[in-house]
Copies of this chain bind each other. A is one copy, B any other.
Amino acid sequence: MARTAGSHAETTGPRVRAAAQRLIARHGYAAVSMRQIAAEVGVQAGALYLYTPDKQTLLFDLMRLHMEELLAACEALPEPCDPRAALAQFARFHIGYHIDRPEAVFIAYMELRNLSPENFAVIEGLRRRYEERLEAILRAGTAVGVFALPDLRLATRAIIAMLTGVTHWFRDMGPMGRDEVADQYAEMVLKTASAR
């Protein structure tokens, strides 16, 4: 079958995003040029513009896809009725998902400053939707008295920050495996939320 522009775009799009992610995570958005990204992909700079109109759109696509995939994976989880089981599941999910994607996580936090205001609003909206998954679990547990947290939004952000921090140091942990790390975080998060 002849190679069409469409099928070409389908394979080149992911390669462009992968190259942009590597370079931006290494050097920062402002220091990376479209020319460098093209060289990393192995295409001419002009060819890059077949796949993305500009560097801002490329950054936005990276961050949007990261958040959309995270949300889709989270929304596909079963929904345990027991708030403690739901919270432990959320913690294990968040750890496992983020351990595998340190570059995407790094960019998701660090390059917010470089989004246009319209793009920032979209990413913030997706982030809020993800936070609301956790906040709903904390709310349900508080309603039945198994959790006690004076401010659910603050607690949501604190727990997500605790869990996401794993990407800073997981590679140093030596012999401790992913499952053991996830178990320890899940246990700590349950205590953090608990009504004692």
Contacts and interface: CB of A to CB of B under 8 A. Distances in A.
A173 interface: yes
A26 interface: yes
Interface in A128-166: 149-151, 154-155, 157-162, 164-166
Interface residues of A, number: 37
Contacts of A159: 162
Interface in A163-191: 164-166, 168-169, 173, 176, 181, 184-185, 187-188, 191
Interface string A27-53: 111110000000000000000000000
Contacts of A161: 161-162, 164-166, 168
Given A26-B113, A29-B28, A191-B192, A169 B157 contact: yes
Contacts of A158: 162, 165-166, 185, 188
A110 interface: yes
A89 interface: no
Q: Which of A154, A176, A193 has the most CB of B within 10 A?
A: A154
Contacts of A157: 165, 168-169
Interface in A85-102: none
23 contacts: A26-B113, A27-B30, A28-B29, A30-B31, A110-B110, A150-B187, A151-B176, A154-B181, A154-B184, A155-B184, A155-B188, A157-B165, A158-B185, A161-B164, A161-B166, A162-B165, A165-B165, A188-B192, A191-B191, A191-B192, A191-B196, A192-B192, A194-B196
Top 3 A-B residue pairs of the complex, sorted by shortest distance between their CB atoms:
A161-B165, A28-B28, A30-B31
